[in-house]
Structures are given as structure tokens and as C-alpha cells.
Amino acid sequence: MATDAHHGPEFLAHHFDRPVQQFDAAKLGMWTFLAQEILFFSGIFVAYLLFRSWYPEAWSLGSRLLDWRMGTINTFVLLISSFTAAQAVATAQRGERNKTTVYLAITLICAGIFMVVKYFEYSHKFHVGLLPGSLFNPTEEGWAEIAAAAANSHGMESAPAGTYANHVRSYIGLYFMATGLHGIHVLIGMGVITWVMIRNIKGEFTSEFWTPVDLVALYWHLVDLIWIYLFPFMYLID
Amino acid sequence: MSHHDHNDDYHVRPHISSTKQNLAVLFGLFILTGLTVGAYRIHLGDANLAVAVIIATVKASLVCYYFMHLKYEKAFNTLFFLGSLLFLLIFLGYTANDTEYRADVDPDWGARVDRRRGDPAAGTGAAFLEGEFSPIPTLQEGESGE
């Protein structure tokens, strides 16, 4: 049980009595952080729902400026990465170090694919000037896209272009804030997963101690949770 | 205590999810993603948002319950996490309670306010503010002053 005359196993920090106490403290800390993340994103979701109820026609139009196929691909990619993150935890708990490394690597690859798809979506928006706030300055191609989306939308089929520009700008602004904030979370997640994967390769984790794998997976699942809502909210408006 | 896997107070004894179970959850998430895209493609109109929220919440519950191990988590941690959702709903509910009813007639002043800005609504506000109308409700037929 105790590998040290003074204290328990090597992974047990000196201010904890027992591994289970250290583990419970870490888990409570992580859940507190995740609760904070929900509140952090809540401003985006409340703004989204209020603006959607105020400008349903602009939201219907704005959603058609996005490609639902891209969003669907990214949803599947993130779901797979959540599965591999869960598998990384299970294998770490069984002490299957190499499998944990593989699952963490697949999670990283999925995160990379997600960001590449996002890059293509963003770069097109940059190209046609569909940008948030004061940067909103559609090119001719951008206005043509807005007109095509309007013709296909509910409530703005016959509206002249100038009348809906401001509300489309609100939608684009929220799209960039929501998916941008989420994208930053994906990038941070990739960094932390890489760090945990390196520690795993170095052999820091055993079937007795795998808390960092567990915590990074929890964070990654939260990133997935946010996207589960962002996807239909942004891409799938009737 | 829900944390039944801790059968001593020294070692961490986790519940370890089987690959089979994780795969089943992933499969369920795929089906639900197909469902939410399908619901969008058949154009549900006003039900669009409600259906999207319901399907997303089922998906989120699957992720929380199985992938995030809420099923086996200490009740206190679960409470903590779900508590944040309660506060999100309070945030949304109270804000919507203001902004969603701005276009209604104010029973004390009989004036309408612009629901988007909170200013007196066009056509009624300016004259009202200049004192040409007394602050007595002037309801149109079929409107409620409540």
C-alpha cells in the first residue's frame, strides 16, 4: 500500500491523506470548472435565443449562409472524439497504457479535422466579407449569397437587400462569437490532450493513478456538449 | 451513497465503462444526429427550435450520463454540474420575461414600448412624452390591459 515510510504512493500529493481523497478533490474541482464553463457560454446561448425570437426571419436567412453538411461532418467528428476520449479513460483505468495513447491520439486527430473544416468555413466567410460587427462588409459575392439565402428563407423571400443587412449582421456576429469561443476551447483541448498524452507515454499513469486522463476527457466531453447545441442552433434553422 | 464502487476509503475504485457500452452510446449519438438533420430537412417550421432542443438534450444527456460517468458520479458533483444548468435557465427566463413582453401595452401608462430597444414605440411615444395624451390606458379592441 504505502511505498514510502512517510506517505503513500508517489502520485499522492503530500497535502492529501489518501488517494481517494486526492481523487475526489480533483473531480470536484473539475466539475466546478465545468459548471463555470456552462455559465461562461450561457451569455452566448441567451443572446442567441433572444435575438432569434426577435429576428426569426434574419435567423432563418443567416442559417442558410452556412453549409449544414459541414456542420454535420463536424458533429460526427466531435462525437467520435468524445467516444475515443471515453475509451482513453477506460483503458487508462485498466492500465493499458499503449491503448490510452492511441485513443488520445485519435481524439487529437478528430479535433484537428474539426478545426480544418472550421478553417474552410471561416476562410470563405472572410473572403466574402461576412464578418462580425463593424467588420461586416460583404463583397458583391457576399451580397449575392445573402440574396440567395433570403430567397430560400422564411420571412425574407421578397425583402430588399438593405432592409435585412443589420439583422443578418447580428446573426453573423453571434455565429462568429459562438463558434469562435467554441473553437478556442477545441484548440485549448488539443493542447491539454497533447500534454496528457505525453505524460502517458512517459509512463506517469497506472491503473492506480489516471486522474489527469479522466479530467481532460471531462473537459473534452463538455466541448462536445456545447457543440451538440451549437450545431442545430446555427446550421439547422428552418 | 451512489458512489458504490469505492469499496474502501483508501484506493480509488472507479467504474470502468466497457468498450461495448461506449460504442452503443456512440451509435445512439449518430442516430440522434441523423434525426436532428432529418428534422431540419423536412422543414418543421415553428417546431424547428423545440425539436432541435429536445434532440440535442437527449444527446447531451447520453454524453453526460455515460461518457462523463454522471451515472457513477458522486451525487454532490452531479448536483453541482446540474446546478449550473438551473442558473442558465434563470438567466434565460428572467431576461426573456423582460424582452418578450416589451411590445405589450403597459397597463399603468397605456403606452407601447418598442420591444427591441425598450423605447416608446413609433407613433405613440413622442406625442405621449410631450404630454398630449393623459396617462390613461387607451386600449384597442381585443387588447388586454393586464
Q: What is the pLDDT along chain A (238 residues), one digit of tens a residue?
A: 544 455 788 899 989 989 999 999 999 999 999 999 999 999 999 999 999 988 888 899 999 999 999 999 999 999 999 999 999 999 999 999 999 999 999 999 999 999 999 999 999 999 999 999 889 999 999 999 998 898 888 877 776 666 667 788 999 999 999 999 999 999 999 999 999 999 999 999 999 999 999 999 999 999 999 999 999 999 999 8
Q: How many CB pairs under 8 A join A and B?
A: 145
Fold of A48-235: Four Helix Bundle (Hemerythrin (Met), subunit A) (1.20.120)
Residue that wins the pLDDT comparison between B3 and A66: A66
DSSP reduced 3-state for A4: coil
Which of B35-39, B91-95, B111-115, B140-144 has the least mean pLDDT? Answer: B140-144
The count of other CB atoms within 10 Å of the CB of residue B125 is 15
Do B39 and B79 sit in the same domain of this protein? yes
Distance from CA of B140 to the nearest CA of A (A): 23
Do B36 and B72 sit in the same domain of this protein? yes
> What was the pLDDT predicted at B111?
58
Do B82 and B41 sit in the same domain of this protein? yes
Do B62 and B79 sit in the same domain of this protein? yes
B63: left (phi over 0), alpha (psi -120 to 50) or beta: alpha
Q: Tell me which DSSP letter residue A131 carries.
A: -
Do B53 and B110 sit in the same domain of this protein? no
Helical H runs in B4-122? Answer: 19-41, 48-62, 75-99
- Per the structure, the complete domain to which residue B117 belongs is given by 101-132
> What was the pLDDT predicted at B136?
44
Residues of A in contact with B95 (CB under 8 A): 46, 50
If you measure CA to CA, which chain B residue comes closest to A71?
B37
Cβ-count burial A163-176 (b if 16+ within 10 Å, e if not): ebeebbbbbbbbbb
Number of independent structural domains in chain B? 2
If you measure CA to CA, which chain A residue comes closest to B14?
A93
B65 touching A (Cβ < 8 Å)? no
> What was the pLDDT predicted at B20?
97
Residues of B in contact with A36 (CB under 8 A): 84
A154 touching B (Cβ < 8 Å)? yes
A229 touching B (Cβ < 8 Å)? yes
Residue B55 · residue B38 · CB < 8 Å: no
At B134, is the pLDDT very low, low, confident or very high (cuts 50, 70, 90)?
very low
Q: Do A238 and B10 touch (CB under 8 A)?
A: no
> What was the pLDDT predicted at A150?
87
Q: Tell me which DSSP letter residue B46 carries.
A: G
pLDDT tens digits along B104-133: 665 555 556 655 566 655 545 444 555 544
B58 in a structural domain: yes
Residue (of A180, A64, A174) closest to A118 by Cα position: A180
Do B38 and B77 sit in the same domain of this protein? yes
Residue (of B86, B30, B110, B93) closest to A228 by Cα position: B30
Angle formed by the axes of helices A56-63 and A161-201, nearest 10° = 60
At B145, is the pLDDT very low, low, confident or very high (cuts 50, 70, 90)?
very low
Residue A118 · residue A183 · CB < 8 Å: yes
Distances (CA, A) of A120 to A113, A137, B20: 11, 19, 35
How far apart (Å, rounded) are the C-alpha atoms in residues A229 and A223?
11
Residue (of B70, B79, B75, B72) closest to B5 by Cα position: B72
Helical H runs in chain A? Answer: 19-54, 56-63, 68-93, 97-127, 140-152, 161-201, 211-235
The count of other CB atoms within 10 Å of the CB of residue A211 is 18
Do B121 and B56 sit in the same domain of this protein? no
B 81-140 near A (Cβ less than 8 A): 81, 83-85, 87-88, 91-92, 95-96, 99-100, 115-116
A13 touching B (Cβ < 8 Å)? no
A 169-228 near B (Cβ less than 8 A): 208, 214, 217-218, 221, 224-225, 228
Q: Do B88 and A42 touch (CB under 8 A)?
A: yes
> What was the pLDDT predicted at A140?
93
How far apart (Å, rounded) are the C-alpha atoms in residues A81 and B39?
24
B117 in a structural domain: yes
Last residue of a domain, one of B46, B64, B93: B93
pLDDT tens digits along B53-106: 999 999 999 999 999 999 889 999 999 899 999 999 999 999 988 887 766 665
Amino acid at A108: L
B67 in a structural domain: yes
B51 in a structural domain: yes
For chain B, the farthest-separated pair of C-alpha atoms sits apart, in whole angstroms, at 79
B33 touching A (Cβ < 8 Å)? yes
